[in-house]
Structure 1
Amino acid sequence: MAKARYKTKQMTELHTFLQSVQGQHVTVQEIREYFKDREIAVGTTTIYRQLEKMVKEGLVEKYVVEGTNSACFEYIGESETSDYESCYHCKCEK
């Protein structure tokens, strides 16, 4: 029997946001600003934790900017695969 996936309100909010910007690269700072503007309480650590979980599940791609610790994330969806090269003209400078 498969274990049911535990979903918090913050996880649901993050997933909904990422779906709304599918195909775009976003940073954790941009995600925090989005939630702050809407008065949704989601901590930075929670955002990172949930993004890393989504990366492992194949829902999100993570792009690390060379020479820095900065990263941006792209929601690719549940049925998409990441067999393609992403464009590198986005604000994360990849």
Structure 2
Amino acid sequence: MNSHYNTKQRKILIDCFENMDKKHFRASDVLEYLEKENSNIGKSTVYRQLENMVSEGILNKYIIDINTPACFEYEGKSRHEDMLFHLKCEKCGKLIHLHCHEIDDFQKHLYTNHHFKLNPKRTVFYGICEECEKKNK
């Protein structure tokens, strides 16, 4: 595990995560944001720092499928301790947090009857979001 250094570049990246208007973002979103802010952090440094911050638990990384770039989520000062699943829209690609205690029964069923424990931070349900569904009607 990489040691934690409070470098200028790291601070710029943390500021970027805190100021972006997206809950989930890709490396390309970070690079675009940094370009608008006239930051001189290189592409390889951004990718390396993202992976370091995932290892340190500062960022969550979601790999949805092989055709979609990895998606990151900044944990910030408060880390998710509760059950957190995700919904992925197959039309627009939006990734949505799902905080729903109804799913607890499903998790219990999987564990009790199938001896399988879900990892909520790594579980993604696929479907169509409300906005895309409205567009189809």
**TM-score range relative to shorter protein:** 0.7 to 0.9
Quickly say closer, same or farther: Cα 1:75–1:23, change in 2 above 3 A.
Answer: farther
Q: Please state how far the C-alpha of 1:37 moved relative to its aligned partner.
A: 1.0
Partner in structure 2 of residue 86 of structure 1: 86
Larger mean CA deviation between 17-26 and 48-57 belongs to: 17-26
Cα distance in structure 2, aligned partners of 1:19 and 1:63 = 18
- Tell me which moved more, 8-17 or 61-70: 61-70
**In the alignment, which residue of structure 1 is the partner of 2:26?**
27
> Structure 1: how far apart are the matches of 2:57 and 2:93?
20
TM-score, normalization: structure 2?
0.55
TM value normalised by structure 1: 0.76
Contact 1:65 1:93 (8 Å CA) reproduced: no
CA distance in 2, matches of 1:22, 1:37: 14
CA-to-partner distance for each residue in 1:66-92, whole Å, 9 max, x for gaps?
Answer: 123611111012441365213434x65
1:64 maps to 2:47: no
Higher relative contact order (CA 8 A, sep 6+): 1
After TM superposition, the structure 1 stretch with the greater mean CA deviation from structure 2, 58-67 or 20-29, is 20-29
Q: Name which one, 1 or 2, has greater alpha-carbon Rg.
A: 2
Note if contact 1:61-1:76 (Cα within 8 Å) is conserved in structure 2: yes
- The letter of the residue matching 2:8 is K
Q: Percent identity?
A: 31
Of 27-36 and 13-22, more deviation after overlay is shown by: 13-22
Cα distance, 1:93 vs structure 2: 4.9
1:47 aligns with 2:46: yes
| CA RMSD across the alignment | 2.4
Higher helix share: 2
Partners of 2:58 and 2:21 lie apart in 1 by 10
CA positional deviation for 1:20: 2.5
